[in-house]
């Protein structure tokens, strides 16, 4: 069987699945993305190039659809120029472009991966009243679903990574969407005992053995991932403890949301630092780091703090659990789908800084007492969410869909 994967990035959610199918089942797999062409673990990579996109003159509420259309057409034209690619099954991420035009190019069933369906209320955009959303953002939340709905109509089958994320889609489509997590590479994301036995170096700075390490990880420092909540709690802890350093991994940018409308021209990091008294000698901002380095940092962490509004679950939280971290996370979906308070992690109400400070202090007082939570978190990942557990499920899902749609 020949499977065509479509995503603007590589390997994204699909690379490890494609490699598994090549290596274990002898399938032919082609991956089209914006990344350079070549071959990776037997997977052929084809590059597509954008010819346009939304402009400032494009209506704010239709820019996402405009960009999806340009990506989708670029994929279509690129594959049209490769007549040797004749897939039996197409798998694409709906949300980073679309596979909708490929229904006109190939007589093959399409599976779409769906991460999030947007809602104007009771959702990510209005979860934080201290950062009120603009009226246009509420309107855009409706139009951003346009391509998702086209894909839901066009695809033969679909899947989402969590039950909660599936639940956000219209009820009459949910029966079409399976729940299968992406998979965690537990060989990469694993506890590393040797990390603690050597000099504890992070971003060129040595951390003394008697200093606790608290980690925070996000692609961008922003309100959606509760960066300001974390920093306010950290500032309070710095005033009462001398034995802790806070390691922030990520970049000073906004990946989601509209923080720039509230910061007066500052970056969100600058905005956060401006409203409290921070001892920056107690913080390490690493910037983005390679996965291997992040896994090592997780292995050094005495406590990992993760916050999110009700939105797409970050890979970083699952990776931290896989590394055996004690994880303290906001009690928001889909976090609550993964962490049971007191069993494989700790939960606190997103806005409750007092509770965050209290729980962080308790863990830092005696990290060893909370270490069993990290052990349980690692066990859960291995049993339910590791690549070895999930990839066969995905492969069976693909096989079943292809068999049901035999031409």
Q: Is 291 in a helix, a strand, or coil? A: helix
Dihedral sign (CA 200, 206, 210, 213):
negative
- Give the model confidence (pLDDT) of 166-202 as tens digits: 999 999 999 999 999 999 999 999 998 766 667 899 9
One fold for 2-183+387-404 and 193-385: yes
First-last CA distance in the chain = 13
0.85 exceeded by the pTM?
yes
| Radius of gyration for the alpha carbons in the chain, expressed in angstroms and rounded | 22
Query: Into which CATH architecture does domain 193-385 fall?
Result: 3-Layer(aba) Sandwich (3.40)
Q: Can you give the residue ranges of every domain in the chain? A: 2-183+387-404, 193-385
CATH number of 2-183+387-404: 3.40.50.2000
Q: What is the Cβ-side half-sphere exposure of residue 224, based on CA atoms within 13 angstroms?
A: 20
Residue 372 has pLDDT above 90, yes or no: yes
Q: Encode burial over 388-406: b for 16+ CB neighbours within 10 A, e otherwise.
A: ebbbeebbebbbebbeebe
Whole-angstrom distance, CA of residue 395 vs CA of residue 378:
24
DSSP for residue 37: P
- Give the model confidence (pLDDT) of 117-176 as tens digits: 999 999 999 999 999 988 999 999 999 999 999 999 999 999 999 999 999 999 999 999
Residue 82 has pLDDT above 90, yes or no: yes
Q: What is the Cβ-side half-sphere exposure of residue 54, based on CA atoms within 13 angstroms?
A: 13
Tell me the residue length of the chain: 407
Among 95, 110, 103, 104, residue whose Cα is nearest residue 65? 95
Contact 387, 186 (CB under 8 A): yes
Residue 69 has pLDDT above 70, yes or no: yes
Contact 233, 353 (CB under 8 A): yes
């Amino acid at each position: 069987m020949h499977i065509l994967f479509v995503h603007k990035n590589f390997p994204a959610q699909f690379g490890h699945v494609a490699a598994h199918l090549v290596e274990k089942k002898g399938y032919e797999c082609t991956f089209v993305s914006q990344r350079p062409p070549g071959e990776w673990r037997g997977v052929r990579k084809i590059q597509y190039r954008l010819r346009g996109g939304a402009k400032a003159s494009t209506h704010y509420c239709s820019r996402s659809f405009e960009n999806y259309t340009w990506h989708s057409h670029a994929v279509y034209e690129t594959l049209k120029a490769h007549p040797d690619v004749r897939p039996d099954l197409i798998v694409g991420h709906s949300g980073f472009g679309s596979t909708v035009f490929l229904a006109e190019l190939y007589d093959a069933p399409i599976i779409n991966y769906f991460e999030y369906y947007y809602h104007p209320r009771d959702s990510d955009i209005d979860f934080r009243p201290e950062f009120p959303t603009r009226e246009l953002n509420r309107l855009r939340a409706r139009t951003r679903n346009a391509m998702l709905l086209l894909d839901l109509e066009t695809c033969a089958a679909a899947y989402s990574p969590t039950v909660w994320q599936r639940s956000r889609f219209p009820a009459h489509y949910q029966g079409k969407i399976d729940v299968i997590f992406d998979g965690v590479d537990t060989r990469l994301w694993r506890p590393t005992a040797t990390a603690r036995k050597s000099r504890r170096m992070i971003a060129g700075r040595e951390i003394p053995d008697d200093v606790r390490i608290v980690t925070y990880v996000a692609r961008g420092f922003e309100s959606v991932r509760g960066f300001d909540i974390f920093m306010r709690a950290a500032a309070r802890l710095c005033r009462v403890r001398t034995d802790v350093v806070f390691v922030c991994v990520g970049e000073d940018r906004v990946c989601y949301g509209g923080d720039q409308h509230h910061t007066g021209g500052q970056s969100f990091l600058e905005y956060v630092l401006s409203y409290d008294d921070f001892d920056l000698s107690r913080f390490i901002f690493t910037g983005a780091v390679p996965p291997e380095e992040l896994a090592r940092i997780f292995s050094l962490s005495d406590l990992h703090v993760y916050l999110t509004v009700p939105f797409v679950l970050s890979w970083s939280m699952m990776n931290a659990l896989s590394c055996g971290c004690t994880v303290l996370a906001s009690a928001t979906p889909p976090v609550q789908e993964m962490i049971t308070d007191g069993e494989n992690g700790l939960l606190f109400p997103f806005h409750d800084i007092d509770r965050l400070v209290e729980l962080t202090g308790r863990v830092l007082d005696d990290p060893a007492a909370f270490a069993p939570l990290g052990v349980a978190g690692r066990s859960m990942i291995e049993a339910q969410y590791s690549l070895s557990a999930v990839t066969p499920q995905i492969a069976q899902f693909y096989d079943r869909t292809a068999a049901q749609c035999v031409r």
